[in-house]
Amino acid sequence: MYRKLKRSVELAGKSQSTLTNYSRCLAHLTLYFKCSPLDLDEEQILDYLHVLKSQHKTPSDSFFKHTIYGLRYAYRMCGMQEMQVILPSIERPNKLPVVLSRSEVKQLLKAPKLLKHRLVLAMLYGCGLRCFELRNLQLRDLDFDRKMLHIRQGKGRKDRYVPLSKLQIRGLKKYITAENPSTWCFNGYDRENNPTALSTRGVQWIVREARKHSGIQKEITTHSLRHSYATHLLEMGLDIMSVKDLLGHADIQTTLTYLHVAQLGRQKPFSPLDRLYNK
Catalytic residues: 130, 155, 223, 226, 249, 258
Q: In this structure, are residues 16 and 135 in contact, taking their beta carbons and an 8 Å threshold?
A: no
User: What Cα–Cα distance (Å) separates residue 78 from each residue in 73, 165, 224?
Assistant: 9, 49, 38
CA-CA distance, 102 to 262, in Å (whole number)? Answer: 12
Of 210, 27, 226, the closest CA to residue 19 belongs to: 27
CA-CA distance, 266 to 74, in Å (whole number)? Answer: 51
Q: How far is CA 125 from the centre of its chain?
A: 12
CA-CA distance, 198 to 189, in Å (whole number)? Answer: 7
Q: What DSSP line would sit under 50-116, residue for residue?
A: HHHHHHSSSTT-HHHHHHHHHHHHHHHHTT-HHHHTTSPP-PPP--PPP---HHHHHHHHHS-SSHH
Angle between helices 102-110 and 115-126 (to 10 degrees): 150
Q: Identify the bridge partners of residue 149 per DSSP, sorted by sequence position.
A: 142, 162
